Chain A
Amino acid sequence: MTLIRQLFLQAAIAFISIFFLVSVSHADLNITLSGSNFQAMPIAVVDFGGDPQGVQVANVITANLKRSGVFMPLEKARFPESTVEFDSSPNFTAWKNAGAQAVLTGRVSREGAKLKAEFRLWDVTSGEQVIGQQYFTDPVSWRRVSHIISDAVYNKITGEKGFFDTRIVFVDESGPKEKRRKRLAIIDSDGAGFKALTSGENLVVTPRFSPSSQDVAYMSFADGAEPRVYVLDVATGKRDVVGSFNGMSFSPRFSPDGEKVIMSLQQGGNSNIYVMGMGSKSTTRLTSTAAIDTSPSYAPDGRQIVFESDRGGGQQIYIMGADGSGQKRVSFGSGSYSTPVWSPKGDYIAFTKQGGGRFAIGIMKPDGSGEKILSEGFHNEGPSWAPNGRYIMFFRDSGGAGGPKLHMVDINGRVDVTIPTPAYASDPAWSPLLTDLR
């Protein structure tokens, strides 16, 4: 127990205070993400001065910005100056000649027991500061500060919310395929900071983050009982079973406000979708067909639900009102469609598509139009949206002797990267932006 307890203490979010270093003028440094003339912005992330940790902070930020596909960080070998004094400006002419459009400078220092991190983002063309901030936190949270700075830069340049200061809960898989241990684990959005959340004694799958808290809903087997849906508070380790049903409960997801859990209940040979209030514990049935209705996901406004059903034969995507009304099919492409997940922005539904023995991850508009395949291969499954609705994580198994790993793509098809995990990994669940949690 002591070990698990420590894991949860470390999984708690550190306290970080933010101050703004106000800029006088607002330079016009930005990128529009959609559109065909998109070009990644060449940016130079100069090693942060002060404490030696400043180099590590700059390295994390550089890797983040590169992974986003929005930025093209310059190689350090091409830097015209290896350091920039924090209270003075970079040599803009030299950076311009080196090909940089933006320069990020910073400083890390100690104030008492606190770590102080500051940064300035410079527009090379106008020679002006675009944004500047400073943060105070516990020194062990230096990675989190690096992610918050990355989000500030991403937000300033794209106008979209960031996604670096987030975490991923997933199924950590080890052992041979026919007897694989599957337990919940958590990592930062870049794969750092791995921690196990369950012991691995029980088979545990399909975790999903609440959009508004650190609660994670998932399905777990247990000794002598039906597999059930549980909710785990990642910050405290507190765990509760969701409801008490006669039959397997699975495929859970939170409502946007985190107050309700929607899931499938197995009844004989059929699976139907139910919603349960976390406070009231009252349960309402939303579907009632002689079919498999599962993988429900709320629209961000909570008024509609997308789900999959094989009521028409194969697996297809359907939409209904939050009360179960007006159920209608929206996927009509070739092949079968499953695991629909509504984007937090509302504009797309991500899905797994099967056809011809291949598995793809794609997106479509909520009316079923505008289908776009983002990744295709032997096996791709289980999309989860970044809280800003611009990126999707899923798991990919290329077949053969290997196993699944986590991958991240963007909705414009410019990014496809592996998120490093210590072992095989599946079912990624993307947390809300930690800075949004109150």
Chain B
Amino acid sequence: MSAIFISSKVTKLAAVMLITFSLGACSKNAADENGGLGGAGLNGGVNGAGSQSPGSIGDFTVNVGDRVLFETDSSELTTVGQSTLDKQAQWLNRYPKYNFTVEGNADERGTREYNFALGARRSETAKNYLIARGVSASRIRTISYGKERPVAVCDNISCWSQNRRAVTVLGGAGS
């Protein structure tokens, strides 16, 4: 046997055994729990008039339509989207007590980071449209959930098209 058994100290590893611990208290996340999914399944403006009392959140969601949908990889408003936002602006101007959040979303057929930016672009488009229709900017907050919050789950266009959306969620803090 040709090997000689020599134990020579050559290398050592750094010890990384820091025990300090300073995580802040865990905070509850309302957005995480119900991030605008209250109206899941309702397509903007498609449902007929219901028995919602005028000026209520239900009135807005059901009778006005809380969301606009977008084409693949696009943040341009469709004709239908514009007419939904027109109705939203009318309603929001009539009931100025509501602050609200426009939540931008993307479908699953894109990469995660880009879709955060795409969702932000969509919420910004809807926000600017509402502002142009007279809604005060101070009432509007925007957030993007990228592709993380699909409302429809399947592997085809019927679901993806519902997920490419900007949803107006009443009651969010204005800024």
Contacts and interface: CB of A to CB of B under 8 A. Distances in A.
Contacts of B143: 226-227, 248
Given A19-B7, A352-B111, A222 B27 contact: yes
Interface string A282-305: 000000000010110000000000
Contact of B14 (A24, A199, A354, A437): A437
A129 B112 contact: no
Contacts, number: 198
B28 A201 contact: yes
A26 to B, nearest CB: 11
Interface stretch (B16-24, B52-60, B85-93): B16-24
A214 B17 CA distance: 12
B16 A205 contact: no
Interface stretch (A72-80, A177-185, A326-334): A177-185
Contact of B155 (A9, A205, A224, A399): A399
Contact of A177 (B14, B24, B40, B150): B150
Interface in A127-169: 127-129, 132, 134
A266 B117 contact: yes
A438 to B, nearest CB: 5
Nearest to A22: B6
B6 A438 contact: no
Contact of B19 (A9, A127, A129, A354): A9
A35 interface: no
Task: Classify the interface of chain B: helix, strand, loop or mixed.
Answer: loop
Contacts of A238: 20-23
B95 interface: no
Contacts of A294: 113-114, 116-117
A38 interface: no
B3 A120 contact: yes
Contact of B120 (A13, A87, A235, A271): A271
A22 B118 contact: no
B15 interface: yes
A12 interface: yes
Contact of B173 (A12, A177, A178, A224): A224
A98 interface: no
Interface of A: 1, 4-5, 8-9, 12-25, 87-89, 120, 127-129, 132, 134, 176-180, 182, 199, 201-203, 205-206, 214, 219, 221-224, 226-227, 233, 235-239, 248, 250-251, 264, 266, 268-271, 292, 294-295, 308, 310, 314-315, 338-339, 352, 354, 357, 378-379, 381-382, 399-400, 426-427, 434-435, 437-438
26 contacts: A12-B16, A18-B10, A18-B13, A21-B7, A23-B4, A24-B2, A24-B4, A127-B2, A128-B3, A134-B7, A199-B26, A227-B116, A227-B144, A238-B22, A238-B23, A250-B116, A250-B117, A266-B116, A292-B114, A292-B117, A294-B116, A294-B117, A310-B114, A315-B111, A352-B111, A381-B111
Given A18-B10, A20-B7, A205-B148, 9 more contacts: A5-B21, A128-B2, A205-B146, A224-B30, A236-B19, A238-B21, A292-B114, A294-B113, A352-B111
Instruction: Name the 3 nearest CB pairs between A and B, nearest first.
Output: A129-B3, A15-B15, A292-B117
